[in-house]
Amino acid sequence: MGTRDMGHEHGYARMFTEKAGKSYGRVNPRGIEEMWEDMFRWLYENEQDFAFPITGCLNVSGRPQVLATHERFIDWINTHQGVTMDEMNKDFRGGNKSPAQA
């Protein structure tokens, strides 16, 4: 897919959102997963080259429901053509030459 970075805020959907009204800061992981899928789907359909960073908040990243969310999302992403690490690696290396001493 390429390597254009869409930025930290676009790729990072917090599992803990302090300003979410009446949520005590907790957000349903399925809602986050759906939002990530919507963002990825739009980028996949409308952008030729992009990077979709997946990050985890230190406060919640080890929780089972968060790990399951990441696993489901990565499995879903891998159903799309051109997004495996091998394909991204070949795309990146094709457009970037290694230094002579490397």
Question: Would residue 55 be called left, alpha or beta, if left means φ above 0 and alpha means ψ between -120 and 50 degrees?
Answer: beta
- Provide, rounded to the nearest whole percent, the portion of the chain with pLDDT above 70: 73
Higher pLDDT, 14 or 26: 26
Q: What is the mean pLDDT of the chain?
A: 76
Q: State the pLDDT at residue 24.
A: 59
Residue the block writes with tokens 């490397």: 102
Q: Are 27 and 67 in contact (CB under 8 A)?
A: no
Cβ neighbours, 10 Å, residue 76: 14
**Phi, psi of 51, deg, nearest 5:** -115, 135
Instruction: Specify the pTM.
Output: 0.62
Q: What was the pLDDT predicted at 37?
A: 95
CB of 6 within 8 A of CB of 52?
Answer: yes
